Structure 1
Amino acid sequence: MKIKLPMNKLYPLRYDIRTNLIEYEGKEWVLLDDPMGYAEAPVIVTPEFFNILASIDEELDIRDILKIENQEHGETTIEPILAQIKALDDMGFILSETFYQKRALVEQEYLASSIRPPVCAGTCYPADPKEIEIFLNEFFKSTNVEEFDSSAHSIIVPHIDFRLGNIVSEVYSSGYHSISGTDSDLFIIFGTSHFINSGQFMLTRKNFETPLGIVETDNNLIDFLYSNCPDSFGIDDLAHKPEHSIELQVILLQHYFKNRNFKILPVVVGSMHQFMAEGTNPAENADINTFIKTLKAYISDNNIKASYIASVDFAHIGIKFEDNFDAVEKLGEVKTEDSKLISSILKLAPEDFYSQIAAVHDKWKICGTAPIYSFLKTNSFKQAKLNKYNQWYEAETQSAVTFASLSFYD
């Protein structure tokens, strides 16, 4: 049967599809995954077919690519290639009209709902509530709660995958143990925005659902912000749809404070690269200052018992993150640079923290720059402590991520 995919209508792979080289059943494959959730499911393809996909652009059609393939690998049959492209197109991986239709339907359904559904269940943590309880009980036992001063007001913790073992659970748990004594019923979460940057502060009115239930977003607070500083932030539900930095803290809060009725203010924070590119200072930005001032005023004037969480990682280096070196070669240097940033945080010096990163044009790709800066600017802490610091190295991709837990006291 002929595949109905016209030669002059061959579209490329979507630019936002994540790719990862994996081994499966003794062979190498390329995993294609859609973090935005428009494609139906992850899929694996051969490296050879992926190279064909990667070659498709506005300049090359299938005949050009087939000609190249024939020259490099001998006679290649076009029908199997077209069939695979058609299958990916049907799933939503290809930048075609099919994708735009799928995206419109998914977004329409999502925007109409009052709930932000989980995207990490079954991947970063178990999807079954009973399994989650068992998993997180062990997760938090990786450090002893008695080792940490439990009177902390707020914390900086990672948003890295829970499944990576003690190397990450020790960092997470040390932070949460330090706020075990808090009686807060509002948690303001500043999370990194990994996918969408429509503004500096992107909020949602949606309540957050996980397998452990639903956590309410404080819409009274959002109403106040909207009434008093509508131009300094945005309601961007789509920025929250694929974002894991808020969700991972929500499910940890649900488990850790399971007998408490609390609400959250979910804030994904946009990149500060524009300030670095322009050579300007975020401290002089009117929108940032107005948002922070208004948020602080609401908490203070209403005697809200609130804690803050910055959900961040530090450096991202290696091949996976578009560096031309194996991250293992730089782990010592990165630790030194991270320690300088952590020193600024411990001194409660947001301007120095930002300036260090800007001075090297974010060489180490610190994904926590904007959330940490906002976290520090919003509070007047008296003291900060470093709980744990760690580095995770992924040999398969020759890449690494660094992360830390810090606690803040009034």
Structure 2
Amino acid sequence: MDETTHPRLRNDIQAIPITVEGQQLITFTDPLRLSATGFAMDRRAIPLLAMMDGRNDLRDIQTGLMRITGGTVVSIAEVQALVEQLDKAFLLESEAFRERKNALMKEFARWARREPALAGRSYDADPERLTSFMQTVEQGLAPLPEHDPTGVTGILAPHIDIAAAQQAYVDVYRRVTGGGHGLAVILGINHHGGDGLFCLSAKDYVTPLGVLETDREMVEELKQDLPEGTLAEYDFDHMMEHSIEFQTVFLAHYLGTGLKIVPILCGGIHEFLSSGADPFEDVRFCAFRDNLRRIIGESALRTLLVSGVDFSHVGRKFGHGVPAESLLERARANDRVIIDHLLHGRARDIYRHCLATGDQFNVCGIASMVLFSSLVGPCRAELLHHGTYDEPATGSAVTFASMVFAGS
């Protein structure tokens, strides 16, 4: 259908309810940061935005807008003006958005290294202050119990804003110090919903604490003999993605910049959840998992698997229509089921549980958790933290956890 007459809202943006001087508004989070900061609309427009799915034309949207305004006559010209406003903000799937995104893709392709997207925003860009922050958080934790860091094969860490889960991050990462790990395979989450189940990058990751070199040889080997549709065509989704970036900050601090990494964004899980198909019977997922398992097994470097994930996302900000507090008890109980499967290496049961429950609490991490668990398998595992970040301004909350896994 014609995009100019049947507008479609981008599927990677999020409408967030806010209150400004008594006004009930919605603003937008754009992972590509194309939309101007501060762009907001009347909150009553949420049902209208839901109509912008590429199937409704301007006349349908006009009818919806009149319903929202209590029958006030709204002209097609006014509807067109609203659509144009959204398009200028790059919030619609349109030629303007694609041109801007393509320009960004070309820019990222020219980068020799992946520069930090969130240094100075989500964490301190100054290396001394960043180091001091992590040291201060660690000093506030209970003394580290006696353990053998050389036996740690995997960790599960949050990817929520670092300040929101600082103790969970630091507690799990301090347990790998001195473990002699020479390689970290980082399984982040692709929040951009790109093509392919997985997105690889051969670019080194820059952090305020130094550069983590990507093992390009391993990345290239991992790409071999995979079915069509397994990998994203380009590595562009790494440009703004935070789920790997946050892990690299802690890896650089606790394991040093001599560490090599393999950065992998995991996605495509909703393809399986919506169809009811089993990723463990999908040739793309199985081929990638088997390739990765073989390559890790053949590596001369002691390898640390890192799953950068969050758990439930509940409340108004995440489409539930009710405040998070009314859902949190059930959401955290749902988390605990998944955590128990992780603790016992039941990778397939993680997916089956999320399928059976319809992923009603928006667990942001399933794709990474399932792959991670299938690679670490049953072993000695420990839950360190299971926390909640509340956001009263939007009536929303996010849960997170940190876990450590050691060889059986």
After TM superposition, the score normalised by the length of structure 2 is 0.83
CA drift of 1:139 comes to 3.4
Matched-pair identity in %: 28
Bigger Rg over Cα: 1
Q: Any conservation in 1 of the 2:227–2:283 contact (CA below 8 Å)?
A: no
Paired position in structure 2 for 1:398: 395
CA drift of 1:266 comes to 0.8
Paired position in structure 1 for 2:248: 250
Q: Structure 1 residues 233 and 45, CA, compared in 2 at 3 Å: closer, same or farther?
A: closer
Q: State yes or no: 1:158 paired with 2:158.
A: yes
Mapped to 1, the partners of 2:26 and 2:399 lie a distance apart of 25
Paired position in structure 2 for 1:100: 98
Mapped to 1, the partners of 2:47 and 2:368 lie a distance apart of 39
Q: Of 304, 319, 329, which residue of structure 1 is paired with 2:316? A: 319
Please list, as runs of the form range in 1=range in 2, the aligned pairs for 1:9-408 lying within 5 A after superposition. 16-23=12-19, 30-39=26-35, 41-45=36-40, 47=42, 54=49, 59-60=57-58, 92-93=90-91, 97-144=95-142, 146-147=144-145, 149-151=147-149, 152-164=152-164, 168-229=165-226, 231=228, 233-235=230-232, 236-258=234-256, 260-380=257-377, 382-408=379-405
CA deviation string 1:193-243 (max 9, x = no partner): 211242222211122223333322111001212234465732531222232
Which of 236-245 and 369-378 deviates more? 236-245
Gaps of 5+ in 2: none
CA drift of 1:79 comes to 12
Q: Any conservation in 1 of the 2:6–2:58 contact (CA below 8 Å)?
A: no
Tell me which amino acid in the other structure corresponds to 2:217: N
SS of the residue 2:280 aligns to: helix
Tell me which amino acid in the other structure corresponds to 1:132: L
Mapped to 2, the partners of 1:9 and 1:24 lie a distance apart of 32
After TM superposition, the score normalised by the length of structure 1 is 0.82
SS of the residue 1:328 aligns to: helix
CA deviation string 1:389-408 (max 9, x = no partner): 11222222222211111111
CA drift of 1:306 comes to 0.8
Please, what is the CA RMSD of the aligned residues? 3.6
Mapped to 2, the partners of 1:346 and 1:353 lie a distance apart of 11
Tell me which amino acid in the other structure corresponds to 2:350: F
Q: Any conservation in 1 of the 2:310–2:365 contact (CA below 8 Å)?
A: yes
Q: Structure 1 residues 74 and 271, CA, compared in 2 at 3 Å: closer, same or farther?
A: closer
Q: Any conservation in 2 of the 1:145–1:177 contact (CA below 8 Å)?
A: no
CA deviation string 1:26-61 (max 9, x = no partner): 76654334211334x412435389779959966338
Mapped to 2, the partners of 1:216 and 1:139 lie a distance apart of 27
Tell me which amino acid in the other structure corresponds to 1:163: A
Q: Any conservation in 1 of the 2:17–2:317 contact (CA below 8 Å)?
A: no
Paired position in structure 2 for 1:5: none
Q: Any conservation in 2 of the 1:384–1:409 contact (CA below 8 Å)?
A: yes
CA drift of 1:335 comes to 2.4
Q: Any conservation in 2 of the 1:142–1:169 contact (CA below 8 Å)?
A: no
Q: Any conservation in 1 of the 2:15–2:317 contact (CA below 8 Å)?
A: no
CA drift of 1:322 comes to 1.0
Mapped to 2, the partners of 1:321 and 1:16 lie a distance apart of 13
CA deviation string 1:295-350 (max 9, x = no partner): 22222223221100111111122211111332212222222222222112111111
Tell me which amino acid in the other structure corresponds to 2:156: I
Mapped to 1, the partners of 2:393 and 2:318 lie a distance apart of 13
Tell me which amino acid in the other structure corresponds to 1:153: T
CA drift of 1:363 comes to 2.1
Gaps of 5+ in 1: 1-7
Q: Any conservation in 2 of the 1:205–1:217 contact (CA below 8 Å)?
A: yes
Q: Any conservation in 1 of the 2:17–2:43 contact (CA below 8 Å)?
A: no
Q: Structure 1 residues 364 and 10, CA, compared in 2 at 3 Å: closer, same or farther?
A: closer
CA drift of 1:140 comes to 3.4
Mapped to 2, the partners of 1:20 and 1:287 lie a distance apart of 35
Tell me which amino acid in the other structure corresponds to 1:361: G
Which of 168-177 and 92-101 deviates more? 92-101
CA drift of 1:357 comes to 1.7
SS of the residue 2:326 aligns to: helix
